[in-house]
Amino acid sequence: MKSALEGRKITLHDMTLRDGMHPKRHQMTLAQMKAVATGLDQAGVPLIEVTHGDGLGGSSVNYGFPAHSDEEYLSTVIPLMKQAKVSALLLPGIGTVDHLRMAKDLGVHTIRVATHCTEADVSEQHIGLARQLGMDTVGFLMMAHMNSTEGLVEQAKLMENYGANCLYITDSAGYMLPEDVKARLSAVREALKPETELGFHGHHNLAMGIANSLMAVECGANRIDAAAAGLGAGAGNTPMEVLVAVCDRMGIATGVDLWKIQDVAEDLVVPMMDFPIRIDRDALTLGYAGVYGSFLLFAKRAEKTYGVPAREILLELGRRKLVGGQEDMIEDAAITMSRARKSAEASQ
């Protein structure tokens, strides 16, 4: 026997073209999208997310204007897919049901409605409509380390009641350790209907991407997010090619070809990186302090402009208990901190 999980079957969900938009500052070209999506499709990845990093309607001063609109990206990728389905992310408060309808019309199969892990009740409208439109509908609870196990169970059940047929526990900060994953996913699995799927989205800030994903599978998750070469916010997502290799060894069926996904990662994704996706001190700080992954580049830019180290900014954002979407508070915090430093220097 290869492992205790031998014989389990999971759906790998690719993040390269959505979470991977964060380290690309949402500037992926249509040619890059086409090449990567086609490679993933040929490697057997069953589900590929394509959107602005902050989801449908994320195009903004606050999160960054993308090189192309969601419509352009989706309508470029979807017709090329031979077997893979395409998903889109939607954060209520940023995107609306109008974006959802647009995505459906362009052939998006799966919609993932994302809220902070305590605010599921803002998703009723969007989950309800997606289900009514016959879409594969996922509730996506972000920054899941910021809620208790009981709290997450309650929020997951709300989304299930609104019509989600799959629930995700999302470690947006890459903060969770395998024991955290175990406690949360087992409790949520237990509380959901048996037919409701369970998913896990990890970040690699503490190098726990693979370990946490395996723990999630052990606790009954059957959808796992990963990105080729880990291209994603912070130190990236769970690296897909590594996860596929580990699953192969353990006898967990993914349907993804290891050599092909390696080649996508190595030949297509690594060359398009603007910088190596690795656990540098700022990404490590995200994971250590539990800060939202996509704040990383904003903090690094604020360091350049205002002279406050990114690590200090990130720690301050953690102290302020910021949630996903509060990118505006990074420049604000940096200015306030820079002013405090100057007045401290002046009084010395």
Positions marked active-site: 22
For tokens 């993932």, the residue is 112
**Where does the chain show beta strands of DSSP type E?**
11-14, 47-49, 85-90, 110-116, 136-142, 166-170, 197-201, 223-226
Amino acid residing at 282: D
- Say whether residue 71 binds other proteins (CB under 8 A): no
Q: Smallest gap, in angstroms, from Cβ of residue 93 to other proteins? A: 4
User: Could you tell me which of 148, 114, 108 has the C-alpha nearest to residue 19?
Assistant: 114
Instruction: Please state the closest distance from residue 103 (CB atom) to other proteins, in A.
Output: 15
**How far apart are CB 7 and other proteins at their closest, in Å?**
40
What are the backbone dihedrals phi and psi of residue 48, each rounded to the nearest 5 degrees, phi first?
Answer: -130, 125
Distance CA 116, CA 185 (A): 17
Contact with other proteins (CB under 8 A) among 12, 17, 88, 94: 94
Do 39 and 14 touch, CB atoms closer than 8 A? no
Q: Which of 5, 80, 97, 315 binds other proteins (CB under 8 A)?
A: 97
Site size for other proteins (CB under 8 A): 29
Q: Which of 75, 250, 331, 341 binds other proteins (CB under 8 A)?
A: 331
Tell which one of 69, 118, 149, 222 touches other proteins (CB under 8 A): 118
Closer by beta carbon to other proteins, 9 or else 101: 101
Q: Does 61 bind other proteins (CB under 8 A)?
A: yes
Q: Which is nearer to other proteins, 272 or 330 (CB)?
A: 330
- Is residue 69 part of the contact set for other proteins (CB under 8 A)? no
| Nearest-angstrom CA–CA distance, 178 and 118 | 21
CA-CA distances (angstroms) from residue 60 to 26, 223, 252? 11, 30, 40
Joined together, the tokens standing for residue 17 give 């073209």
d(CA 15, CA 332): 30
Residue 222 interacts with other proteins (CB under 8 A)? no
As measured in angstroms, the least distance from the Cβ of 116 to other proteins is: 7
Interface with other proteins in residues 124-163 (CB under 8 A)? 124-125, 146
Task: Using the structure block, give the residue that is written with the tokens 């409790």.
Answer: 187
Q: Closest CB to other proteins among 83 and 148?
A: 148
Please report how close the Cβ of residue 322 comes to other proteins at its closest, in angstroms.
7
Q: Which of the stretches 93-101, 194-202, 253-261, 276-284 binds other proteins when contact is defined by CB under 8 A?
A: 93-101
* Interatomic CA distance for residues 120 and 140, integer angstroms: 9
| 52 contacts 58 by C-beta, under 8 angstroms | yes
| DSSP tally for the chain: helices H, then strands E | 14, 8
Interacting stretch for other proteins, rule CB under 8 A, among 26-34, 79-87, 310-318, 326-334? 326-334
Minimum CB separation from other proteins for residue 337, in Å? 11
Q: Which is nearer to other proteins, 2 or 319 (CB)?
A: 319
Identity (one letter) of the amino acid at 16? T
DSSP β-bridge partners for residue 224: 12, 200
| List of residues contacting other proteins (CB under 8 A) | 60-62, 92-94, 96-98, 116, 118-119, 121-122, 124-125, 146, 320-323, 325-326, 328-329, 331-332, 335-336
